[in-house]
Copies of this chain bind each other. A is one copy, B any other.
Amino acid sequence: MAKLIALYKHPENKEVFDEYYFNVHAPLTAKIPGLREMKVTKVTGSPMGGEGKYYLTCEMHYDSLDALQEGLRSPEGRASGKDLMGFAGDLVTLMIGEEA
């Protein structure tokens, strides 16, 4: 199983971010062909105290690395990528991985 992992740094305005993320960006991303599951995690803190290094994480599961790459290259994948760069290009770190 292959994953695309998105890590979002803390936005300046969390309410504006959440509103856009959950109502616009996530539904756009959910349309990407081959996407099997999307797991969003809100970071609530760190075991050492204080806020976490990131604000939110999203794991997107695909059957394989090929399926993931195909999804990202699809019109829906490109629309989601363009939207991401528009609202959170300075906040997001993207990584591709495989379950060990």
Contact = CB atoms under 8 A, between A and B. Distances in A.
Interface of A: 3-5, 7, 22, 39-48, 52-54, 56-57, 65, 72, 81, 93-100
A96 B45 contact: yes
Contact of A53 (B3, B42, B93, B100): B93
Given A44-B65, A47-B4, A72-B47, A95 B39 contact: no
Nearest to A42: B100
Nearest to A39: B99
Contacts of A98: 41-42, 44
B97 A42 contact: yes
A97 B47 contact: no
A44 B96 contact: yes
Contacts of A47: 4, 72, 81, 94, 96
Contact of A44 (B54, B72, B93, B97): B97
Contacts of A65: 44
